[in-house]
Chains A and B, each alone.
Chain A
Amino acid sequence: MSDSVSMMPEHPPVTDWVNDFDHTDPAWTENPFPIWDELRNECPVVHTERFLGCYLPTTYQAVKEIAYDTEHFSSRRVVVRDVRPEVRRNAAPPITSDPPEHKPAKQLLLPPFTPDAMKKLEPRVRAICNELIDEFIADGQCDAAARYTKHVPVRAIAHMLGIPEGDGELFVKWIHMLLELSIKDESKGAQAYQEMTGYFAGHIEHRKAQPTDDLISTLMKARDKDGQPLEDSQVLGSLALLLIAGIDTTWSAIGSSLWHLANTPADRDRLIAEPELMPSAIEEFLRAYSPVTMAREVMKETTISGCPVKPGNMVLLSFPAANRDPAMFPDADKVVIDRKENRHAAFGLGIHRCVGSNLARMEMTVAIEEWLKRIPDFRLDPAGKVTWSEGTVRGPRQLPVLFGKKN
C-alpha cells in the first residue's frame, strides 16, 4: 500500500505500462522493479503521452547512449512535470547546464567534494549520526526515515554550506515542494525556489560584510575564466542545487539501505561480522536501490537503441532502471553485498556525474556503520507502514523499525 501524495484527477491509473507509463502512478512508487522488467522486455525505449510526451529508456545501454549524447538531449529541464514552464537561465548550474557552459560551472564545485575533502568532514558526520541515535535509542523503536536518515544529509550539507543545521526542516519542505509537489503543481516549485533564493540571498549579504570559509563563500569568491565574479543568479542557482541535490537523494539512499538491512538479517549479520564488505555493500545498495531518476529534453531527432526519438518530448532518464538490467548485471534483481563487478550508474554517466557522489558515499557508509554499531538488531515494525517518495527521487519517507531481537 502506498500513501504517497495522492494522484491528481488528471493522472488516471495506468493500465497499459508500455504505451502509457507514469512514474507518479502509485504502483510505480510502491514497487517499480517489476514494471521496469516488463517494459525492458518490451522495448529499450518506451513512450507515454502523459507529461506532454515523454520517453523512458529501460536498458542500461539506452540510458547510457542518452546520458552521453548532449547534442540531441539537453539538461535545461531535469525534472519531468505535467507542464513545461519557461526555462530559467542559471536555474541550477551545472546540473541544468549543457556544453559549453557546463564544464566551468562544474569545475567550480568539484574541489570541495573530492574524497580527501570528504575525509575531513567525516568526523562531523559520525558525530551527527550519534547525536541522532542518542535521541531515540532508548525508545526501542523509531521511524528511521523521520528521525535518522533524513537528518544526516541535511545537517552535513548545512555544515558544508555554513548555514545553521537547525534550519533543516525548512530545507526539507522546499525540496518536497520542488521535487514532488511541483510535478503536478508548478506554482509549488516556483514558491519554494523563491523562498530558497531569498534565504540564501540573506546569507550572501551577511558574508559580504564578514567572509567565512564555507561553501557559500567559496562560490562568492569564485572567478570565471575572465577573472570576473559569478553572477548572483549563478551563485544562487548552484547553492539551490547543492541543497536540493544533497538531501532527498542521500536521505533516500541511506533509508533504502536500512530498509534492506531491516528486511534481510543475513546481510546485516554478515556486514557486522565482515565490516570489510561495507564498500561493496554500499555500491550494491546504490545499484539496487538507486534513488535518482534524472530527465533530459529531446532537442533534435535521433535514434536510441534503434528506437526513434523526436523533439518536443522529455526523457525520463532512469538510472535506477538501467541498474536493474540483467543484460548488464548478472542476478540484477538480487542484492549481492559482495558483488565484484559493479559499473552501476546511480550517480549518472558522462559529464553530469553527480558532483556530490563522494559526499553521498561517505554519508551512507558512516550512517550505516554507526547505526549497526549502536543498533545491530532491528526489523520493520509490523504495526507500522513503510511509505516511499514519489517521482524524481525514490526512498522511504516512513520507515518504522523495532530494535532488538524478535521475541
Chain B
Amino acid sequence: MSGKLKIRVDQDKCQGHARCKSLAPELFDLDEFGNAHEVGDGSVPAGLEDKAWLAQTNCPEIAIEVTEE
C-alpha cells in the first residue's frame, strides 16, 4: 500500500506560471505576486493524489516536489 503524498513548492524555482493552481486549486495557493505555495503543510488529502501528480508534471520550472510519506 502506498503512503500519503506530500507536496512542496520550491520558492527559488517557482516563477508564477500558475499551472498548479489551475490544475489543483485545492492543493496550491498563490501570493500577491502570483507565485505558488502548497496549501497548509503540503499533505495531499485522499482522493487528490492524481491532481498532485498532474500539477507536478505540468510545472514548466520543475518547482514542485511530490514525496510519499
Contact = CB atoms under 8 A, between A and B. Distances in A.
Contacts of A116: 30
A351 interface: yes
Interface in A274-312: 279, 283
Interface in B15-54: 15-19, 21-23, 30, 32-34, 54
A284 to B, nearest CB: 12
B5 interface: no
Most buried by A among B30, B32, B54, B60: B60
Nearest to B33: A110
Contacts, number: 52
Nearest to B61: A349
Contact of B34 (A113, A340, A342, A344): A113
Given A343-B59, A345-B60, A107 B16 contact: no
Interface in A339-353: 340-345, 347, 349-351, 353
Contacts of B33: 107, 110-111, 114
A114 B32 contact: yes
Interface residues of B, number: 19
A358 B15 contact: no
Contacts of B60: 343-345, 347, 349, 353
A357 interface: yes
B57 A110 contact: no
Nearest to A107: B33
Contacts of A111: 32-34
A88 to B, nearest CB: 26
B18 A358 contact: yes
Nearest to B13: A350
B22 A343 contact: no
Interface in A81-122: 107, 110-111, 113-116
B57 A343 contact: yes
A347 B15 CA distance: 11
Given A353-B16, A353-B17, A115 B30 contact: yes
B53 to A, nearest CB: 10
Contacts of B21: 115
Chain B CB within 10 Å — which of A341, A349, A353 has the most?
A353
Contacts of B59: 343
Contacts of A358: 18, 34
A107 B33 CA distance: 7
Given A113-B34, A358-B34, A342 B15 contact: no
A280 to B, nearest CB: 9
Given A111-B32, A350-B15, A279 B22 contact: yes
Contacts of B61: 349-350
Contacts of B19: 283
A345 B19 CA distance: 12
Contacts of B57: 340-341, 343
A343 B21 CA distance: 14
Nearest to B25: A115
Contacts of A279: 22-23
Q: Which 6 A-B pairs have the closest CB atoms?
A: A353-B15, A110-B33, A114-B34, A341-B57, A343-B60, A111-B32
